[in-house]
Amino acid sequence: MTSDLLNLEGVTKSYASSGLLARKTFNAVDEVGFALDASRPEIFAIIGESGSGKTTLARMILNMVPTSAGTIRFRDKALATIRGRRARLDFMRQVQPIFQNPYEAFNPLKRVDRYLYATARRLARVGRTEVDRVCDEALRKVGLSLAEVRGRFPHELSGGQLQRTAIARALISGPALLVADEPVSMVDASLRMSIVDLFKALRDELGVSIVYITHDLATAYHISDRIIIMQKGRVVESGDARAVLDNPQHPYSKLLKSAVLSPDNAETDEKVADPSVLPFDTRTV
Amino acid sequence: MNARPRANGAADVMLDVKNLRAYYVMQYFGTQREVRAVDDISLQVGRNEIYGLAGESSSGKTTFIKTIAAAIRPPLTVIGGSIRYSFLDRDIYKLDRVALSAIRWRYLSYIPQGSMNVLNPVRRVRESFIDFALPHMGLPKQQFFAAIIAHLERLQLTPGVLDAYPHELSGGMRQRIAIALATVCRPDFIIADEPTTALDVVVQKSVLELIREAQREIGSSMIFVTHDMAVHANISDRLGIMYAGRLVEEAPTAEIFRSPKHPYTQHLIASLPRIGDLSAKRALTGAPPSLAEPPSGCRFHPRCPLAMDICRETHPELVSIDPRHRVACHAVSPAVGPDRVFAAAAKQRTGLVQ
Amino acid sequence: MMKTVRDLFRYNLEFALGAILILIVFGFAAASFFSPYPPMDSYVVAPDVPPSWAYPFGTNSRGQDVFWQLTLAIRNSLLFGLSVALMSRILSLLIGLVAGYAGGITDRILMTINDTFVVIPLFPILVLFFFMMRDNMSWPMLAVAMASLGWPYDARLIRSVALSLRTREFTAMSVFSGMSTRQILVEEHLPYVLPIVFSTTLNNMNWSIGLEVTLSVIGFTNIETPTIGTMIYWANQHTAMVAGVWWWILFPVVLVIMTFLGLYLLSVSMNEYIDPRSRLTRMGGQA
């Protein structure tokens, strides 16, 4: 119990949808519970489609929205008891978010480095002279350097570079937990796997635990240790990532897996193209 | 040469794009900028074929379909080249507004990424059908609706959706209606722009099946654009890969997945994560180039594991390496000497896939 | 900065027109410092002289030179409009940004106050204010009164922008970078709100100058200070139109129209220029 990094018990978030006569409530997140072990860093994937409540769950873990019922504990401290600026800064030092759209996560009118500097100064409490070194160090962990990022506006960097910068910023304060909400869905295919693999490296080399929220079963399979599958706010299946995805038990998990498109299950037999289709100029042949 | 198409080939080409160049030419308070989003692209789409177009952000694929749909507004400008549809006797971008609206929906229709682009949020679905399809079908109202309902039923949609407002329907349902709308006039050509990207995986699969079915049923040709290679594997007959405003490879889909020739294509396919596959994926270095200042020579060379001197200097032509496979890469092109580079390419490829 | 102004001048007709009009008006106001006689003195020149080379705008029935009096009047009117606009901008910025960012109960309280001010009928309140103050009525006081009535519409506008900024990912990013609320409001959100502040400043000047003219013409202000409104008030008192002293009314009216038009054109063209999205495209990014 005392060795839990993150512990969720019966976490529920309900929203009131006021009808004409009756007030109805619906649970965006319904009785979700799981725990991450502090001594064993892992990548914990939360899988679900839109409306599954996975993003709401992420925002509750980040203490951005309060729970309606149940408790979330980070290092045995309930998030609901975090009051005051000092306590909140202390929490943010240890738990950091990675957002979905890197072009949105950085203010388009501001230089990218200001977020790095702010984190270093205010969260990591780094002295003025050390700031550059600390930021550069964090950027090197993700394969960038301060020279590449300093003074740049978001639109001057690629989606992949920006997402790396966002990860570097999150690492500055030396967090124990990263909450990444769809971190690669807006990143180009040719760069996507490098970000995904970066998460693996963070876990193995820096001992950071990562809550990886995604709709993409294939990347989850690739990097996560454990997963939970959510449907309409409820956890329908959970367990070891490989075991669950190789052999899903719940009908919804089976449905999800069967819907994953991959070149291997392409119905090639159906589209043996009519050989007469293609007249094109054969310039060299 | 035994795969050589029928002699009367020209009749089977539904869309013939030749050397198309479309740039964004912008002037902001005196400074001129030019973004070469589509640079010298030639391709043909045959009858009854789904031509997949793959590319990342800033590959120019969106600009390309804007251009072939004649949705050209400044700063986008067609610099040169031709776009010929079989149902038109001239380049589509030379048509005026009236002529364009006469062919839209009837001959050329469009499935957008967000169905709300075609469905009016404050009007019932029925009104959208009246707006778009009625002028082209030339039927009295009663017969028109009979035809619409028959069409919806073929696509396994209940006629009840006609009386719904778009916001009352789920995203997948709206996208199905957008597909019904795009196919109801039995157009010769359909342009699909990331039609399933915004959908959840389960819905995506059924929508893809629907598109395939509708296309087969009305026998039209289609350009299907998405960045998702797994989707292409499941829907496209033939696949064109775009990179930085150019077409770098083109072949039947199965062929591309079986033996990709361009290093970029090879990477795209090798880096696809799969369930049941835990092998490490190698990432490309660098990032897609800016189209405002593309690299010299081959635009892929700064990121290419096979880059040679010639790649930095001259840009490789898209050449046919067999009748159905075109590729733009010096390492593959016969001019450089295939024997020498093929060995290197093969070595590299095994390295990439590991 | 000079380059952007020059570019605006060259490529934006509205801006060029507006700027020329406002320059003329301001030049006119600046000329008041060179008046050959104290502008408030009466019977320093011959009364009721029509426009001539000696007196370009003529003289009025009180023996004042309309030209020199107008320079002071427009200076006062502009100063008045500017101070009302600045004071009410500060109020609307503060209330709009805080309400939008804080949300919840803070937002509800602030917006209730806001809406109360929206429904208060302005004109009767200002007339009432005049009757309460009577002889103690001064221009700074009227400016404060109007500023405290002139903010709510724009505060609501700013709040709506702040509300959408709050849900943007970069706001959460700023929070998790340890930035303080003040820093987020001032450094992250303010740039998005500035175009609104800028164009509403110009609009608010128009509004306050217009209201001041209305109040003055019917005599509900301190009529001893020359402004465009009080000039027209005195002209009416001397039945200038009936007496055929048309220049006493015409020139102030033309000048105030030039001011309105100039401010309006500037606000329209500036809006287009300062809008963050068009600014981004100029910087070379995608909007």
Residue A63, φ and ψ in degrees, nearest 5: 60, 30
What pLDDT, on the 0 to 100 scale, is given for residue B253? 93
How is the beta sheet containing A209-214 ordered, strand by strand? A95-98, A177-181, A209-214, A43-47, A226-231, A234-240
Judged by DSSP in three states, B221 sits in strand
Which has the minimum average pLDDT: B122-126, B345-349, C142-146?
A: B345-349
C-alpha–C-alpha distance, residues B132 and B154, integer Å: 19
- Run of H or E including A211: strand A209-214
For residues B247 and B238, is the Cβ–Cβ distance under 8 A?
no
For A106, the closest of C170, C176, C192 (CB atoms) is C170
- Residue B266 burial class via C-beta count within 10 angstroms: exposed 0-12, middle 13-18, buried 19 and up: buried
> What residue of B is the nearest CA neighbor of C281?
B28
Cβ–Cβ below 8 Å for A278 and B57: no
**Encoded tokens for C37:** 């006689």
**Encoded tokens for B296:** 């010299």
Short-list B21, B18, B25, CA closest to B76: B25
Cβ-based neighbours of A230, under 8 Å, separated by 6 or more: A32, A46, A47, A48, A52, A53, A54, A57, A236
- ipTM comes to 0.85
pLDDT band for A114, please (50, 70, 90 cuts): very high
Residue B353 has pLDDT above 90, yes or no: no
Count other Cβ atoms within 10 Å, centred on residue C7: 17
> What residue of A is the nearest CA neighbor of B204?
A259
Short-list A29, A25, A35, CA closest to A11: A29
C-alpha–C-alpha distance, residues C92 and C162, integer Å: 12
Cβ-based neighbours of A83, under 8 Å, separated by 6 or more: none
A-chain residues within 8 Å CB-CB of C286? Answer: 155
Instruction: Establish if C82 belongs to a structural domain.
Output: yes
**Encoded tokens for A107:** 């203010």
For chain B, the C-alpha Rg in angstroms (whole number) is: 22
C-alpha–C-alpha distance, residues A177 and A172, integer Å: 12
What pLDDT, on the 0 to 100 scale, is given for residue A270? 42
Which has the minimum average pLDDT: A23-32, B228-237, C185-194?
A: A23-32
What pLDDT, on the 0 to 100 scale, is given for residue B30? 61
Which has the minimum average pLDDT: A137-141, B197-201, C60-64, C133-137?
A: C133-137
Cβ–Cβ below 8 Å for B33 and C282: no
What pLDDT, on the 0 to 100 scale, is given for residue B352? 43
Q: What is the CATH number of the domain that holds C159?
A: 1.10.3720.10
Q: In angstroms, what separates the C-alpha of C5 from chain A's closest C-alpha?
A: 21
For residues A214 and B201, is the Cβ–Cβ distance under 8 A?
no
What pLDDT, on the 0 to 100 scale, is given for residue B1? 35
pLDDT: which is higher, B122 or B114: B122
pLDDT tens, B167-215? 888 888 888 888 888 888 889 999 998 888 878 888 888 889 888 888 8
For C276, the closest of A62, A109, A121 (CB atoms) is A109
- Enumerate chain C positions whose Cβ falls within 8 A of a Cβ in B: 4, 7-8, 10-11, 281-282, 284
What pLDDT, on the 0 to 100 scale, is given for residue B61? 87
Residue found by looking up tokens 């033996």 in the block: B259
Cβ–Cβ below 8 Å for A107 and C174: yes
For C11, the closest of B26, B29, B33 (CB atoms) is B29
Helix C190-217 vs helix C247-274: angle between axes, to the nearest 10 degrees? 170
Q: Are strands A177-181 and A95-98 parallel, antiparallel or unpaired?
A: parallel
Count other Cβ atoms within 10 Å, centred on residue A175: 21
What's the Cα-to-Cα distance from C262 to each of C17, C20, C78, C132, C258, rounded to whole Å? 7, 8, 12, 35, 6
**Encoded tokens for B136:** 């082209």
> What residue of C is the nearest CA neighbor of B58?
C286
C-chain residues within 8 Å CB-CB of A92? Answer: 175-176, 178
Detail the DSSP E strand segments found in B49-112: 50-54, 76-85, 108-111
- Residue B229 burial class via C-beta count within 10 angstroms: exposed 0-12, middle 13-18, buried 19 and up: buried
C-alpha–C-alpha distance, residues B24 and B75, integer Å: 5
B-chain residues within 8 Å CB-CB of A268? Answer: 254
Neighbours of chain B (3+ CB pairs under 8 A): A, C
Residue found by looking up tokens 């959908």 in the block: B199
C-chain residues within 8 Å CB-CB of A151? Answer: none
Q: Does B28 touch chain C (CB under 8 A)?
A: yes
Residue found by looking up tokens 């040709």 in the block: B221
Mutate to test the interface with B, among A50, A101, A261 (most CBs of B within 10 A): A261
Between vectors from CA B337 to CA B256 and to CA B254, what angle results, nearest 5°? 10
Q: In angstroms, what separates the C-alpha of A174 from chain C's closest C-alpha?
A: 13
* DSSP letter, residue B200: -
Instruction: Establish if C118 belongs to a structural domain.
Output: yes
Residue B84 pairs in a beta bridge with B16
For residues A66 and A6, is the Cβ–Cβ distance under 8 A?
no
**Encoded tokens for A15:** 């929203």
What number of helices (H) and strands (E) belong to chain A?
A: 11, 10
Residues spanned by the domain of C153: 36-260
C-alpha–C-alpha distance, residues B36 and C142, integer Å: 58
Judged by DSSP in three states, B326 sits in strand
What pLDDT, on the 0 to 100 scale, is given for residue B184? 87
Helix boundaries (H) for A15-83? 54-61
B-chain residues within 8 Å CB-CB of A253? Answer: none
Right CATH for A37-62+88-259 from 3.40.50.620, 2.60.40.1930, 3.20.20.10, 3.40.50.300: 3.40.50.300
What's the Cα-to-Cα distance from C233 to each of A61, A151, C17, C227, rounded to whole Å? 67, 58, 30, 10
Q: In angstroms, what separates the C-alpha of A216 from chain C's closest C-alpha?
A: 21
Tally the domains of chain C: 1
pLDDT band for C276, please (50, 70, 90 cuts): low
A-chain residues within 8 Å CB-CB of C175? Answer: 92
Residue C140 has pLDDT above 50, yes or no: yes
What pLDDT, on the 0 to 100 scale, is given for residue B159? 85
C-chain residues within 8 Å CB-CB of B29? Answer: 4, 7-8, 10-11, 282
As a whole number, the mean pLDDT across chain A is: 86
How is the beta sheet containing B221-225 ordered, strand by strand? B108-111, B189-193, B221-225, B50-54, B238-243, B246-252, B325-327, B319-322
Q: In angstroms, what separates the C-alpha of A121 from chain B's closest C-alpha?
A: 30
**Average pLDDT of span B115-142:** 83
For residues B193 and B224, is the Cβ–Cβ distance under 8 A?
no
Q: Which residues of A149-171 are buried (b: 16+ CB within 10 A; e: fewer)?
A: bbebbbbbbbbbbbbbbbbbbbb
Judged by DSSP in three states, A179 sits in strand
Mutate to test the interface with B, among A278, A281, A282, A283 (most CBs of B within 10 A): A278
Q: Does B32 touch chain C (CB under 8 A)?
A: no
**Encoded tokens for B42:** 């030639």
Neighbours of chain A (3+ CB pairs under 8 A): B, C
What pLDDT, on the 0 to 100 scale, is given for residue A269? 41
